[in-house]
Amino acid sequence: INIDVLRHLHDGVKGGFNEDKFAPYIGFSCLRKYLESELQKRYKEAAPATLALLEQRCSDVSMDLSRLDSKLQATSDVSQLRRSAMLHVASICTHLRALLDGAVDPAPEVWGKTTEEEQIHSGINSWPSTSVPVKPPNSSLKLYGGAAFERVMHEFRSATYSMECPQVSREKVANILLAHAGRGGSSGMTEAAAEIARAAARSWLAPRTETTCDRLAFVLQSLFDLAMERSRTDDSRCLCD
């Protein structure tokens, strides 16, 4: 191939071709030598920066290993383990209070849930004796913590207001009134009316109250995952500092 290239240069270059001067730069073998020398030069130029990066990485790894070694040594100390556990529990409780009071870390867009998502994940898709879907304000927003708690309470109120109070049968009224009739005075009638109201409220509100408690329990259970995420984030920041 190199011979063909030289022949082409001899025949195609006007005025002649100085083979003695340019022959060492022509041909694939010369190209290979040139590329190898360029690659070697680039490696040499990048060597100081690469070495500095490796040294920095080795230093970071050594520091991480030292911290892990200290933690492993501390595991043999029961009092230290107890203290670490208490600090961890206190940290989680602090994060739980912060989440209930209102927080934006971690990002609600990622960790929060809409009303529909809460219903799906909790397995409670509807309210008892309610045929129409209940959509509280801000149902499409991804919320957690105290905001999600208050939204469920508002949803409970909306579900309750959408229902009419059930009628009380004559038999139930008679059983209460006749039991209080012999006591005399207006206080007996008042106590009877209060008892009727309490009995009706229990039968009417109990299923909705249970549903509300289950939904609120789901919201509160989700807070532990959020608190753990906040705790991990704080630990990472401490390690970086």
Give dist(CA 113, CA 108) in Å, integer.
8
Total domain count for the chain?
2
Q: Let me know if residue 186 belongs to a domain.
A: yes
pLDDT of residue 31: 76
In a domain, 231, yes or no: yes
Task: For helices 115-122 and 185-240, give the axis angle rounded to 10 degrees.
Answer: 100
CA neighbours closer than 13 Å in the CB half-sphere of residue 210 = 6
Q: Which domain holds residue 39?
A: 2-75
Dihedral, CA of residue 226, residue 228, residue 229 and residue 230, to nearest 10: 90
Q: pLDDT value at position 238? A: 61
pLDDT at 162: 79
- What amino acid occupies position 52? A
Q: Which one-letter DSSP state was computed for residue 106?
A: S
Question: Tell me, what's the pLDDT at 190?
Answer: 77
Q: Are residues 124 and 61 in the same domain?
A: no
Bridge partner list, 143 = 113
Q: Do 136 and 209 belong together in one domain?
A: yes
Same domain, 113 and 70: no
Region class of 14: left (phi > 0), else alpha (psi between -120 and 50), else beta: beta
Let me know: does 24 contact 30? Beta carbons within 8 Å: yes
Q: Which helix (H) or strand (E) holds 183?
A: none
At 183 the pLDDT is 64
> Do 232 and 131 belong together in one domain?
yes
Q: How far is CA 224 from CA 22, 47, 146, in A?
A: 76, 48, 13
pLDDT of 35 reads 86
DSSP state letter for 168:
P
Structural domain contains residue 121: yes
Within a domain: residue 210?
Answer: yes
122 and 27 both lie in a single domain: no
CA distance 226 to 147: 14
pLDDT at 130: 76
pLDDT attached to residue 117? 94
In a domain, 208, yes or no: yes
Identify whether residues 118 and 166 lie together within a single domain. Answer: yes
pLDDT of residue 185: 57
Question: Both 112 and 197 in a single domain?
Answer: yes
pLDDT of residue 81: 78
140 and 35, same structural domain?
no
pTM: 0.57
* 131 in any annotated domain: yes
Q: End of a domain among 18, 53, 75? A: 75
Place of tokens 């309610």: 130
Note whether 176 and 231 are same-domain residues: yes
Nearest CA to 96 out of 235, 215, 219 is that of 219
pLDDT value at position 211? Answer: 92
Is residue 43 domain-shared with residue 153, that is, in the same domain? Answer: no
Q: Domain boundary at 75, 93, 119, which?
A: 75
Residue 50 located in a structural domain:
yes
Q: Among 25, 53, 75, give the residue marking a domain's end.
A: 75
In a domain, 97, yes or no: no
Indicate if 131 and 61 belong to the same structural domain: no
pLDDT at 187: 65
DSSP 126: S
User: Would you write out the chain's pLDDT as a tens digit for each of its 241 residues?
Assistant: 567 766 777 676 776 666 667 766 676 777 788 888 889 989 888 888 888 999 999 998 998 898 888 877 777 777 877 888 898 889 899 999 999 999 888 899 999 999 999 999 999 888 887 777 788 889 999 999 999 999 999 999 988 887 777 777 888 878 877 777 766 656 667 777 888 888 888 888 888 899 999 999 999 999 998 999 888 887 766 655 5
Same domain for 25 and 139? no
